[in-house]
Structure 1
């Protein structure tokens, strides 16, 4: 178990909640890259695989937590893409709720 690996994962881990919050509240994908998120997720998957195969220790928990947060951000990227497409087609939130104005 490396203290440097732990610090790196904790630092990355603190960044993801802010990214998820931005995705959730902005309801758009401005400044987000699906390719970047997927590359990061592949990196975490590689770290998890390494831990299982060669260095099974508790640090795997940090990899898993970070991977879940990145997966959440990816899911929000798709949600936001759908919401942005709906906004572009002239539909708004009220029309989805059956409210007519």
Structure 2
């Protein structure tokens, strides 16, 4: 278990709630990129897979937590897309 890996994941975990709140409150995707969210999700899946196959330790829970945060933001992206689409019709 690496303290640097833990610090990195904790920093990301503290940043995502701000993005989630902005997405939820604004009901807009302005400044968001679905491709960015997908790339980050793939990165977390790779990290989780690595932990499961090669180096299982408790840091996997931070990877899963971060994945859940990004996934929540991605779900809000889809929600906001449909909100914006219905407002434009």
- The TM-score by the shorter chain falls in which range? over 0.9
Q: State the match for 2:33 in structure 1.
A: 33
Task: Give the alignment of 1:17-56 within 5 angstroms.
Answer: 17-56=17-56
TM-score normalised per structure 1? 0.87
Task: Give the alignment of 1:1-101 within 5 angstroms.
Answer: 1-89=1-89
TM-score normalised per structure 2? 0.99
Moved over 2 A (4+): none
Q: Cα RMSD over matched residues? A: 0.4
* C-alpha separation in 2, matches of 1:41 and 1:4: 20
* C-alpha separation in 1, matches of 2:69 and 2:47: 15
Q: How many residues align?
A: 89
**1:16-65 per-position Cα deviation (integer Å, ceiling 9, x unaligned):** 10010000000010000000000000000000000000110000000000
Unaligned runs of 5+ in 2: none
* C-alpha separation in 1, matches of 2:46 and 2:67: 11
Going by fraction, where is helix more abundant, 1 or 2?
2
Q: State the match for 1:93 in structure 2.
A: none
Unaligned runs of 5+ in 1: 90-101
> In terms of Rg, which structure is larger?
1
